[in-house]
Amino acid sequence: MGEPEKPGKQFREANRYMEIGLAFPAGLVAGLLIGYGLDRLFGTHFWYLVCMLLGIAGAFVQLLRLLKK
């Protein structure tokens, strides 16, 4: 017979997996939106790419932090 599960344990685990699944797309979208805004502000066409790459790098860092928990 196993130990009874603590209430809310499933929700904490589900929250962790959702956080991992959303970390990468959130960083990517944030970088794209910031880059798009800078491109419109300055009339250029390269900031979206720079900010997208920074968003991807930030998402990987966040993903590694979440996986270490």
Q: Can you spell out the DSSP letters for 29-68?
A: HHHHHHHHHHHHHHT-SSHHHHHHHHHHHHHHHHHHHHHH
Q: Residue for token digits 């390269």?
A: 46
Q: Is the pLDDT of residue 13 over 80?
A: yes
**pLDDT per residue over 19-61, tens digit each?**
888 988 999 999 999 999 999 999 999 999 999 999 999 999 9
Compute the Cα dihedral for 49, 54, 58, 63 and give only its sign: positive
Q: Residue 2: what pLDDT?
A: 59
- Extents of the domains making up the chain: 31-69
Q: pTM for the complete prediction? A: 0.77
Read off the tokens for 69: 């928990």
Q: Residue 1: what pLDDT?
A: 53
Q: Residue 17: what pLDDT?
A: 87
